[in-house]
A and B are shown apart, each in its own frame.
Chain A
Amino acid sequence: MNLNYFRSRSFILSILIIIATVIISYAINSPYFTLTILIADIFIIMSIGWDFSSGTTNYINFGISFFFGIGALFTGFFFYSFNLSIPFLIIQAFFFGFISGFLITIATLRVRGVFFTLLSLLLPLIGTDFILAFWTVLKMPTIGYYGLPSLSNSLQVSLIYISLFLIIIIILIYTLYSTHIGLILRGIGDDEEAMLAQGINTFWYKVLIFSISMGIVGIAGSLYALSTTFAGIDTFGLEFLLFPMVIAIFGGKGKILGAVPAGYVIIILSQYLQLYVGQFTLILFAAFAIILFLLFPNGISRWFK
């Protein structure tokens, strides 16, 4: 394990930014701002999860909102069916995100490039149709679970919990990134054929990394459900694909920690824009994403160097 990663400026700066957002939110004492930071933290967790697998390997996964939905809906299902406590609800979200990620990547990694991406895009669509077909079997009160427990009665305490989760996930991912697994991952992204020529079985590394990533996205789904006390079919929505992906690209694809400042900038901007222009925010956001992908497909971080 290379400990230099933990001494890097980007790592220390990212942790400091997360702590700073909590302090600022206490200082401002505005519920809307606290909620904005909380949502930003959840999207950053998703972005980091996505970037860790897709950003580094260049296997672009459009199915991220499927795993987010799995995390959210399983949280609702296990709370309604077994009355599990919050820590177990979060653990099961990681477990089911990991297992579904494992099974799906084994099937879909047979294809590469655009076809892998297309297949992954079908996942959230399947998830939506599945819930619509079986919501009565899943014991949903309506098409979703209402009245889920909240992380805390105080929004600011919830923010502290979620910020802690974000820091723990960053440390875990950075730990993995600094081992030989991280090295192989970057190798797959640079030249997979060369990795195969060296006798490295890239398939199982990809399966492992995608499973862990999707487990993390599952945690983000669970935290979202516990923050909003609702887990509905909308968690499979393409917005939950668009925002994390744009945050990851904006922060620099494969940079992992670029998502931290990018996430705060994008979510704070979009939440406050929503106050003034309402639904038009989504149009601006999609247009911004198009410009970003066309002009800066590898992110903007290199432009600041």
Chain B
Amino acid sequence: MNFFSLFFPIIIYGLLFGLNYALISIGFTLVFGVSKILNLSYGALYMTTAYMIYFFAVMNNLPLIISILISIVITILIGLAIFYTILKFTVNPMIFMVTMLLFALLLQYIYSYLFGGQVGLIIPSLFPNVSIGLFGVSINLSLLASSLISLLLIFLVSFWIYKTSIGRRIRATAEDPEVSELLGINTKQIIIIVLSISILLVSIASILLVPTQEVTPTMWVDPFVIAFAVSIIGGLGKFEWAIPAAFIVSFAEVISQYLIPYNVSDIVAFIIVILFIVVFPNGLGGARIES
């Protein structure tokens, strides 16, 4: 194995995974930007979409597209219900966070009880399960398609945030909610919109990525860790920095997969987060990482 035989696989897989990681993470960081709340049930919502698709498309044989649409709506409703149930009782960020995590665990236990926790379930994919060759590297078509859709969605969200009137209001709310409210911006409405969009994004990520994995009650941990790692590295709430941060995580994981004999790719994201907190505590975007 030499450097050149690894060059294309590392570049191609680093880019493809990076785009998917960016899609998973931008919703998480957007919500923090406007509400200053870390949505710890984020990974559980990713899992919810997957289980809903399994329920409608596999158990009840509904057409895949219909199943996907129903699953997205249910996931958004569950996400909003969790957020507003907690908000009704507390505004303490610590209690908010702990309860969000407890809701994630509650969903894990509910799905484990309803669908079984031992065997991974398979959900249908929108794309055929075939591989294509690119620069001598074999790539699953699902992964390639999900990466391209992620790229498109990242552009759309960027356009929405930076080039539309509502995007301007979102940025204003993220910058200073009190002043935004004084200027007539309905910040509560902005938070609902951003929260719904973030859940929509994580649902789409689930639809694109889960068919290449298995649906299990603990699957929520991985997307949560990725979103958290990318948000910390990019700087919490700094949407634009989430994208380079996603590539840092993806390239580090892919390089470790090729160069380290043990399967440490999952640990790499953690190590980068800890390194960033120790060496570069404000992240790439310069967000304050202290409360």
The answer to whether B263 and A117 have CB atoms under 8 Å apart is no
Chain B residue with Cβ nearest A137: B262
Contact partner of A114 (CB less than 8 A), chosen from B93, B105, B264, B281, is B93
Partner of A294, one of B99, B221, B278: B99
Which B72-100 residues sit within 8 Å CB-CB of chain A?
85-86, 89-90, 92-95, 97-99
- Range of interface residues on chain A? 35 or more
CB of A73, distance to nearest CB on chain B (Å): 16
Q: Flag if A242 contacts B291 (CB, 8 Å).
A: no
Q: Top 8 closest A-B pairs, CB basis?
A: A113-B291, A286-B106, A294-B89, A129-B266, A282-B109, A283-B109, A126-B270, A133-B262
- Are A286 and B105 neighbours in the complex by a CB distance under 8 Å? yes
Instruction: Report yes or no: B89 in contact with A115, Cβ–Cβ below 8 A.
Output: no
A107 at the interface (CB under 8 A from B): yes
Known contacts: A115-B290, A297-B95. The answer to whether A122 contacts B270 by CB under 8 A is: yes
Does A28 sit at the interface, judged by CB under 8 A?
no
* A125 CB within 8 Å of chain B: yes
B95 touches A133 (CB 8 A): no
On whether A129 and B92 interact (CB within 8 A), knowing A289-B102, A290-B103, the answer reads no
Question: Taking the nearest CB of chain B, how far is it from the CB of A225, in angstroms?
Answer: 22
A112 within 8 A of partner (CB)? yes
Pick from B90, B109, B112, B289: contact of A297, CB under 8 Å: B90
The 0/1 profile, CB within 8 Å of B marked 1, for residues 109-146 of chain A is: 01111110111011001100110111001000000000
Given A118-B38, A126-B270, do A110 and B281 touch, yes or no (CB 8 Å)? Answer: yes
Bound-state Cα–Cα, A34 to B155, Å? 61
What is the number of residues of chain B that contact chain A, defined by CB distance less than 8 Å? 39
> How many angstroms between the C-alpha atoms of A207 and B101 in the bound complex?
25
Interface bits A91-114 vs B (CB < 8 Å: 1, else 0): 000000000000000011011111
A110 touches B109 (CB 8 A): no
Contact with B99, one of A114, A126, A282, A290 (Cβ below 8 angstroms): A290
Considering only CB atoms, which chain B residue lies closest to A113 in the complex?
A: B291
Q: What residue in chain B is nearest A298 (Cβ atoms)?
A: B95
B97 and A114 form a contact (CB under 8 A): yes
A295 to B274, CA, bound (A): 34
Q: Shortest CB–CB separation between residue A255 and chain B, in angstroms? A: 18
The chain B residue sitting closest to A126, CB to CB, is B270
Whether A112 contacts B291 in the complex (CB less than 8 A), given A118-B38, A294-B90, comes out as yes
- Can you show 23 pairs from A to B with CB atoms below 8 A apart? A110-B277, A112-B291, A114-B94, A114-B291, A115-B277, A117-B94, A118-B38, A122-B270, A125-B221, A125-B225, A126-B267, A129-B264, A132-B263, A132-B266, A133-B263, A282-B113, A286-B105, A287-B106, A289-B102, A290-B99, A293-B99, A293-B102, A294-B89
Measured between beta carbons, the chain B residues less than 8 angstroms from A62 are 101
**Distance (Å) between the CB of A164 and the closest chain B CB?**
33
Check A107–B274 contact: CB distance below 8 A. yes
- Residues of A close to B93: CB separation below 8 A: 113-114
Measured CB to CB, the nearest residue on chain B to A116 is B291
Partner of B106, one of A129, A133, A290: A290
Interface residues of B in 217-231 (CB under 8 A from A): 221, 225, 228
Complex interface: chain A residues within 8 A of B266 (CB): 129, 132-133
Q: Is B273 at the interface (CB under 8 A from chain A)?
A: yes
B110 at the interface (CB under 8 A from A): yes
Give bound CA distance, A108 to B86, whole Å: 27
Query: B273 to chain A: which residues have CB within 8 Å?
Result: 119, 122
A18 within 8 A of B: no
Interface centre among B38, B102, B273, B274 (most CB of A within 10 A): B102
Chain B residues in 8 Å Cβ range of A295:
89
A279 to chain B, nearest CB (A): 5
Q: Is the CB of A114 within 8 A of B38?
A: yes
Question: How far in angstroms is the closest Cβ of chain A from B96?
Answer: 9
Residues of chain B lying within 8 A (CB to CB) of residue A40 = none
